[in-house]
């Protein structure tokens, strides 16, 4: 799942990983950082996603380890999108994580 680090910016690598998160699943900011080869860059992942304007990048599928976290269209929109995809229960709990993650943000 690791993108080529030599040919893309950090944000480009983040977007590539996030595009691959299947509908109904989520990854934490830390899992995305690890996938792009920068395990200590969870905050930088959030910053890159905050700046994204490409609708093909499902930023709402990236969550904090302890809950949904922010979203550039608002946290209510993020929760609704995740509910529609079946990634979380109607009460906002139970996010489905991708296998192989650490479970930490």
pLDDT level of residue 62 (50, 70, 90 thresholds): very high
Catalytic residue IDs: 59
Tokens of 59: 């930023």
Q: Under a CB-based contact definition with an 8 Å cutoff, are residues 3 and 16 in contact?
A: yes
One CATH from 2.60.40.10, 2.60.40.1120, 1.10.150.20, 1.10.10.10 for 10-85 = 1.10.10.10
Tokens of 57: 């990048």
Q: Is the pTM of this model over 0.85?
A: no
Interval 8-43: pLDDT, tens: 899 999 999 999 999 999 999 999 999 999 999 999
All structural domains of the chain with their residue ranges? 10-85
Tokens of 91: 């009460």
Give the DSSP letter string of 30-71.
HHHHHHTT-TT-HHHHHHHHHH---TTS-GGGEEBTTB----
């Amino acid at each position: 799942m690791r993108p080529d680090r030599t040919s893309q910016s950090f944000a480009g690598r983040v977007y590539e990983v996030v595009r691959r998160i299947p509908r109904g699943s989520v990854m934490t900011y830390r899992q995305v950082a690890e996938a792009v080869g920068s395990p200590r860059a969870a905050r930088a992942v959030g910053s890159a996603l905050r700046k994204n304007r490409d609708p093909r990048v499902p930023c709402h599928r990236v969550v904090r380890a302890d809950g949904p976290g922010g979203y550039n269209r608002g946290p209510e929109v993020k929760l609704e999108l995740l509910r529609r995809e079946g990634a979380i229960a109607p009460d906002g709990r139970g996010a489905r994580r991708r296998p192989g993650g650490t479970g930490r943000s």
